[in-house]
Amino acid sequence: MENDATLTEAQTKIRACDDLAALRAVEREYVGKDGVVARLLASIPTLPSEQRREVGQGANQLKQAVLEAARARESELAAAALAAERKGAGFDPTLPPARVERGSLHPVTTVMREVEDLFQSMGYTVLDGPEVELDYYNFEALNFPPDHPAREEYDTFWCEGKDLLLRTHTSPVQIRTLEQHAPPIRAIVPGRVFRHEEQDATHEHTFTQVEGLVVDEGVNVGHLTGTLKSFLRELFQRDLDVRLRPGYFPFVEPGFEFDIRCPFCEGGCRVCSKTTWVEFCGCGMVHPNVLRAGGVDPERYSGFAFGFGLDRLVMLRYGIDDIRHFMGGDLRFLEQF
Ligand code: DAH
């Protein structure tokens, strides 16, 4: 049959190909858009109807056979190339190596490590906790009973079933720490937290907090302010005025908002909205119910806790004007660090 001769010819040409480009050219010649097979198929409407079926089938068989031969030759070529490479062909040891792209640390990671170093130098341990958390640790054991209105302050991503959530703050690790370690405790917990809220230049669904927890005999508010002041002095490399305002968080009593004198201005700027004060963190004395939930006797021990957002410190440090850059994945942003 005519097709047999065509196939034999194609197979011969395919076997003679020494590289992939030549092979592709032969493939095109036979099974390409204007190739032999395409022409055969195009001729079908001009044929007497009793021949059409046979010519159609023949063309398809020819196509399959050519493709099969081409695939076989392609693996032979690949095997030969690999063997040659293994023998050292084409390898020039005098050429310079390919350039390796180096990444760099994310600015949040850089500042986080600095914060960890500072607290470690004050005798703190750095701890960790789960990002998918139980309602019990995120709220209940922190003295937010079910239906407590303060839960509304935390725009929560719930997982199915309502017992699991993405932690809205790092405070649940307070309970986990109390459960696992006996006082004296001095720990910080840096980590990601999640809020289901509208995003803008200062709000992200995912951000970073640093929790602090100190529990021992005789701990008081003076220890809290002293600790935060020393930390801030190291971080900003100078003494900053601070102030405590009353603040409500169910897991501390008394609870405070801790402000620092704006480190960037004398008398009012954009960062402090011309007030000269910048909110730094929430803090307070650990509530007796929290100590009890963690198995610690509030008659014997007391403690303080604080929680601050890391992202804003990083934004202030590097002059970053939009928190969404952190998670945006834009290399033009990341390559600056
Ligand atoms: N967890 C609180 C929040 O995300 C911040 C906070 C306030 C942490 C007071 C504390 C604290 O440890 O004592 O809004």
Q: What is the pLDDT of residues 176-191, one digit of tens each?
A: 999 999 999 999 999 9
Residue 138 Cβ contacting ligand 1 at under 6 Å? no
Q: Which residues of 211-243 are buried (b: 16+ CB within 10 A; e: fewer)?
A: bbbbbeeebeeebbbebbbebbebbeeeebeee
CA–CA distance from 183 to each of 170, 171, 176, 236 (Å)? 20, 17, 13, 30
Three-state secondary structure readout of the chain: CHHHHHHHHHHHHHHHCCCHHHHHHHHHHHHCCCCHHHHHHHHHHHCCHHHHHHHHHHHHHHHHHHHHHHHHHHHHHHHHHHHHHHCCCCCCCCCCCCCCCCCCCCHHHHHHHHHHHHHHHCCCEECCCCCEEEHHHHCHHHCCCCCCHHHHHCCCCECCCCCEEECCCCCHHHHHHHHHCCCCEEEEEEEEEECCCCCECCECCEEEEEEEEEEECCCCHHHHHHHHHHHHHHHHCCCCCEEEEECCCCCEEEEEEEEEECCCCCCCCCCCCCCCEEEEEEEEEECHHHHHHCCCCCCCCEEEEEEEEHHHHHHHHHCCCCCCHHHHCCHHHHCCC
pLDDT of residue 101: 85
Q: Which atom of ligand 1 is nearest to the CA of 304?
A: 13
pLDDT at residue number 114: 96
Specify the ligand 1 atom closest to the Cα of 193: 4
pLDDT on residue 161: 77
Q: Is 307 in the pocket of ligand 1 (CB under 6 A)?
A: yes
Where residue 83 falls among pLDDT bands split at 50, 70, 90? confident
Cα separation, 93 vs 86, in Å, equals: 14
Q: Evaluate: CB of 210 within 6 angstroms of ligand 1.
A: no
CB of 282 closer than 6 angstroms to any ligand 1 atom: yes
| Confidence category of residue 117, pLDDT binned at 50, 70, 90 | very high
Place 82 in a pLDDT band, splitting at 50, 70 and 90: confident
pLDDT value of residue 324 = 94
Ligand 1 atom at minimal distance to the Cα of residue 211: 12
Closest ligand 1 atom to Cα of 252: 13
pLDDT > 60? residue 1 = no
Tokens of 84: 């040659």
Nearest-angstrom CA–CA distance, 16 and 261? 81
Query: Do the strands 125-126 and 185-194 form a parallel or antiparallel pair, or are they unpaired?
Result: parallel
**By alpha-carbon position, which residue is closest to atom 12 of ligand 1?**
306
Neighbours of 15 (CB within 10 A): 12
Averaged pLDDT of the chain: 93
Are 174 and 142 in contact, with CB atoms under 8 Å apart?
yes
User: Is residue 305 lining ligand 1, measured as CB closer than 6 Å?
Assistant: yes
Radius of gyration of the chain (CA): 35
CATH class, 107-334 region: alpha beta
Ligand 1 centroid from CA 283, angstroms: 6
Give the residue, by CA position, lying nearest to ligand 1 atom 11: 283
pTM for the whole thing?
A: 0.72
Give dist(CA 217, CA 226) in Å, integer: 17
- Using a 6 Å cutoff on CB, does residue 171 contact ligand 1? yes
Q: Within 10 Å of residue 92's Cβ, how many Cβ atoms?
A: 6
Question: How confident is the model over 254-298, as pLDDT tens digits?
Answer: 999 999 998 878 777 877 888 889 999 999 999 999 999 999 999
Residue 84's pLDDT band (cuts 50, 70, 90): confident
d(CA 210, CA 129): 12
pLDDT of residue 165 exceeding 90 = yes
Q: Is the pLDDT of residue 99 over 90?
A: no
Judge if the upstream peptide bond of residue 172 is cis by omega within 30 degrees of 0: no
Residue with tokens 């703190």: 124
Q: Which of 174, 283, 304 to mutate to test the pocket of ligand 1 (most atoms within 8 A of CB)?
A: 283
Q: Which residue CA neighbors atom 13 of ligand 1 most closely?
A: 283
Average pLDDT in the 43-56 region? Answer: 91
Spans of all domains in the chain? 2-86, 107-334
